[in-house]
């Protein structure tokens, strides 16, 4: 999704902006641009495509200024192009604006306030620049407030005014932004990695606040332009954590980080045979009150929810429904105070999930978030938060965030059962024991030997047009995640089916041309899945099975196997999904795909 950077201080703003935008490339974008205030007034440069195109365009211009704003755009209103790229300017070139989100009433604003004006782009954002000019009364801050009063929608806005070249003004509603506090310089960005090279001191901006950045510091004001005191937080992510550390792609690096981040997700939360969360405590009465749970999320986080349903239902015996966030709020779900809504989101900013959270709150439900990003909208607006502590995930295809979401769900399942007073203490202790062993066991699927087997399997998949994933129960839930991963980075059409469902229609598509990846890890469904594998084998499909170490049956009815080390079967999904992540990675690599930034996709989806 779009990235924003703003800078005012002692360095050349052009260098800081380009460097910051490069750190945000992982968000996905289709064009970029910067605006600086120099001796000519506002100087705006933009280019479609990669940031390198913008750098090429300005390389001989010797641009220099101590103030500027920059943007990487992911198209919503208007196709990717130079003219739709941000920053956008007012008619007289006095104001420049960069924007993340959507101004929903931009058409009616054009009609009401800007009739007859000439627009140079198809964007909703350009309306904001024109309104600044229209409402300008010689005071930049007051003018911004007047513009905000008429805007509807979601936005993070950063603005400069050629007449007041000693300040940047920023504000947000629903789209994220973070301020960086420097010495003699101030920064703003849509995401922390853009700041890390310059400062570790940051401030989070709340909805409706106005930030005035100058060389001497940052002032936060409310709507009445009264100053608000803000706490400065230290950013704990180090710059190195946002680099590739020698791996060819962020995705592979993040797959390899899993054992280490599993330790972080668990750290301090398992105390003897029970679970404790620093972030909140639930009383037995509270947990007993919840007669139903909804898990609401999108994409990979939704797939994590499908595993979570099975964990919570089994451990805490509370019925759970899992819903896609973009569907949930439009179908009038039956929510009340006896319902807990769990929202899962790596970024904590996914627009559909945020909207679902607000819908749940409207009905008086308590909302629990499972998220990675401290200070994100979802973290701020939920009643209880479980952080997955996965660290920055740069690859668009999520890996370590997914597996740490599962770990958070195991901890939560045990916690709800324990607080509810369920009699399954022994089972809970076994799960916690398994979770503690998980980091070490995971190392065993990240050896050179194992990777060589997977690369070999990927060679067999790279020319396929369609691949099916099958499994039952937990194995089906991770099959869904495996198929999403494969399609998003390798562009091979992949579908996941509950293994028993194939014969009700989809089996008609299975031929020798459609490889099948079967997940046969769950002991309780092993025999049934084996029967379904025989059905696809009878149609000449080549089958790769993910099995438990020591399974000497599978070789007899599949073409190839990849085993995972033996672990408590209930927590095996965390381990069994890792070969699926690696199959996607090596298949995409064998096809020469751009793995970390797949086409048409963005890391953080802040539009509905």
Q: Which residues contribute to the site for ligand F6R (CB under 6 A)?
A: 298-301, 345-347, 350, 353, 397-398, 488, 604-605
Pairing of strands 153-161, 168-173: antiparallel
Q: What is the DSSP letter of 25?
A: G
Compare residues 90 and 581 and give the one whose CB is closer to ligand F6R.
Answer: 581
| Cβ atoms within 10 Å of 519's Cβ, excluding its own | 32
Smallest gap from residue 242 Cβ to ligand F6R (A): 17
Could you give the CA distance from residue 270 to residue 414 in angstroms, rounded to a whole number?
Answer: 10
Could you give the CA distance from residue 295 to residue 47 in angstroms, rounded to a whole number?
Answer: 41
Smallest gap from residue 396 Cβ to ligand F6R (A): 6
Nearest in space to 501 (alpha carbons), one of 482, 480, 521: 480
| Cβ atoms within 10 Å of 328's Cβ, excluding its own | 25
Q: Residue 166 in 3-state DSSP?
A: coil
Query: What does R_g of the chain's alpha carbons equal in angstroms?
Result: 26
Smallest gap from residue 190 Cβ to ligand F6R (A): 14
Our CA angle for 84, 87, 91, nearest 5°, is 85
Nearest in space to 275 (alpha carbons), one of 426, 441, 437, 413: 413
80 contacts 86 by C-beta, under 8 angstroms: no
Smallest gap from residue 586 Cβ to ligand F6R (A): 16
Q: Residue 368 has which token pair?
A: 């629990």
Smallest gap from residue 516 Cβ to ligand F6R (A): 22
Residue 62 zone, left/alpha/beta (φ > 0; ψ -120 to 50; rest):
left
Q: Is 137 exposed, middle or buried (0-12, 13-18, 19+ CB in 10 A)?
A: exposed
Compare residues 72 and 350 and give the one whose CB is closer to ligand F6R.
Answer: 350
DSSP sequence for 444-479: TTSSHHHHHHHHHHHHHHTT-SEEEEEESTHHHHHH
264 is known as an active-site residue? no
Compare residues 8 and 301 and give the one whose CB is closer to ligand F6R.
Answer: 301
Pairing of strands 217-221, 227-228: antiparallel
Compare residues 365 and 396 and give the one whose CB is closer to ligand F6R.
Answer: 396
Q: Residue 586 in 3-state DSSP?
A: helix
Compare residues 385 and 605 and give the one whose CB is closer to ligand F6R.
Answer: 605
Could you give the CA distance from residue 430 to residue 453 in angstroms, rounded to a whole number?
Answer: 31
Catalytic residue among 2, 171, 520, 593: 2
Position closest to ligand F6R via CB: 299
Tokens 């005012």 belong to: 8
Compare residues 213 and 251 and give the one whose CB is closer to ligand F6R.
Answer: 251
Smallest gap from residue 363 Cβ to ligand F6R (A): 21
378 contacts 354 by C-beta, under 8 angstroms: yes
Smallest gap from residue 490 Cβ to ligand F6R (A): 13
Tokens 């298949």 belong to: 587
Smallest gap from residue 217 Cβ to ligand F6R (A): 32
603 is known as an active-site residue? yes
Compare residues 182 and 598 and give the one whose CB is closer to ligand F6R.
Answer: 598
| Cβ atoms within 10 Å of 156's Cβ, excluding its own | 24
Residues 6+ apart with CB under 8 A from 528: 472, 499, 500
Could you give the CA distance from residue 250 to residue 240 in angstroms, rounded to a whole number?
Answer: 12
Compare residues 345 and 514 and give the one whose CB is closer to ligand F6R.
Answer: 345
Compare residues 66 and 347 and give the one whose CB is closer to ligand F6R.
Answer: 347
**What is the Cα 137 distance to its own chain's centre?**
40
Nearest in space to 575 (alpha carbons), one of 422, 462, 446: 446
3-state SS of 54-85?
Answer: HHHHHCCCCCCCCEEEEEEECCCCCCCCCCCC
Residues in the chain: 608
Smallest gap from residue 346 Cβ to ligand F6R (A): 3
Pairing of strands 466-471, 516-520: parallel
Nearest in space to 13 (alpha carbons), one of 70, 57, 91, 80: 70
Smallest gap from residue 420 Cβ to ligand F6R (A): 28
Compare residues 161 and 351 and give the one whose CB is closer to ligand F6R.
Answer: 351
Which residues are catalytically annotated?
2, 603
């Amino acid at each position: 999704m779009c990235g924003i950077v703003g800078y005012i201080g002692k360095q050349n703003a052009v260098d800081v902006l380009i460097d910051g935008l490069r750190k945000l490339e992982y968000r996905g974008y289709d064009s970029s641009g910067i605006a600086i205030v120099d001796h000519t007034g506002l100087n705006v440069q933009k280019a479609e495509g990669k940031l390198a195109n913008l750098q090429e365009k300005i390389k001989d211009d010797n641009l220099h200024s101590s103030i500027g704003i920059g943007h990487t755009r992911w198209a919503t209103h208007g196709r990717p192009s130079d003219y739709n790229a941000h920053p956008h300017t007012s008619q007289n070139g006095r104001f420049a604006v960069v924007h993340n989100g959507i101004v929903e009433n931009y058409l009616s604003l054009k009609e009401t306030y800007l009739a007859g004006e000439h627009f140079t782009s198809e964007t909703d954002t350009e309306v904001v620049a024109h309104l600044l000019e229209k409402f300008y009364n010689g005071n930049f801050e007051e003018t911004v407030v007047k513009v905000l009063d008429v805007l509807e929608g979601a936005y993070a806005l950063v603005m400069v005014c050629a007449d007041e070249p000693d300040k940047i003004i920023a504000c947000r509603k629903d789209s994220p932004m973070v301020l960086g506090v420097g010495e003699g310089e101030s920064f703003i960005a849509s995401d922390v990695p853009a700041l890390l090279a310059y400062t570790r001191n940051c401030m989070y901006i709340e909805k409706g606040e106005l930030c005035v950045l100058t060389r001497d510091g940052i002032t936060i004001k409310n709507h009445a332009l009264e100053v608000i005191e803000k706490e400065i937080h230290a950013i704990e992510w180090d710059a190195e954590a946002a680099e590739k550390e020698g791996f060819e792609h962020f995705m592979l690096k993040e797959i390899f980080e899993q054992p280490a981040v599993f330790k972080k997700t668990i750290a301090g939360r398992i105390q003897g045979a029970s679970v404790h969360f620093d972030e909140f405590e639930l009383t037995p009465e509270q947990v007993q009150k919840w007669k139903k749970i909804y898990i609401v999320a999108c994409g990979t986080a939704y797939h994590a929810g499908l595993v979570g349903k099975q964990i919570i239902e089994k451990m805490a015996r509370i019925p759970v429904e899992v819903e896609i966030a973009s569907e949930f709020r439009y179908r009038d779900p039956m929510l009340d105070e006896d319902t807990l809504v769990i929202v899962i989101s790596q970024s904590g900013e996914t627009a559909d999930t945020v909207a679902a959270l607000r819908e749940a709150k409207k009905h008086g439900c308590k909302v629990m978030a499972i998220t990675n990003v401290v200070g994100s909208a979802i973290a701020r607006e939920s009643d209880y938060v479980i952080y997955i502590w996965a660290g920055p995930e740069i690859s668009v295809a999520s890996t370590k965030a997914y597996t740490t979401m599962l770990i958070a769900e195991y901890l939560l399942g045990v916690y709800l059962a324990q607080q509810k007073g369920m009699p399954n203490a022994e089972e809970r202790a076994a799960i916690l024991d398994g979770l503690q062993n998980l980091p070490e066991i995971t190392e065993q699927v990240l050896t050179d030997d194992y990777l060589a087997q997977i690369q070999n399997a990927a060679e067999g998949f790279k020319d396929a047009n369609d691949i099916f994933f099958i499994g039952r129960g937990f194995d089906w839930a991770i099959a869904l995640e495996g198929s999403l991963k494969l399609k998003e980075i390798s562009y091979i059409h992949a579908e996941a089916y509950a293994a028993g469902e194939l014969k009700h229609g989809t089996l008609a598509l299975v031929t020798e041309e459609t490889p099948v990846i079967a997940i046969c890890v769950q002991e309780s469904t092993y025999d049934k899945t084996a029967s379904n594998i025989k059905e696809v084998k009878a149609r000449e499909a080549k089958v790769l099975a993910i099995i438990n170490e020591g399974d000497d049956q599978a070789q007899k009815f599949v073409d190839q196997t990849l085993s995972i080390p033996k672990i408590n079967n209930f927590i095996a999904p965390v381990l069994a999904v890792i070969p699926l992540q690696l199959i996607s990675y090596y298949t995409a690599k064998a096809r020469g795909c751009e793995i970390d930034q797949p086409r048409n996709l963005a890391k953080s989806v802040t539009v509905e």
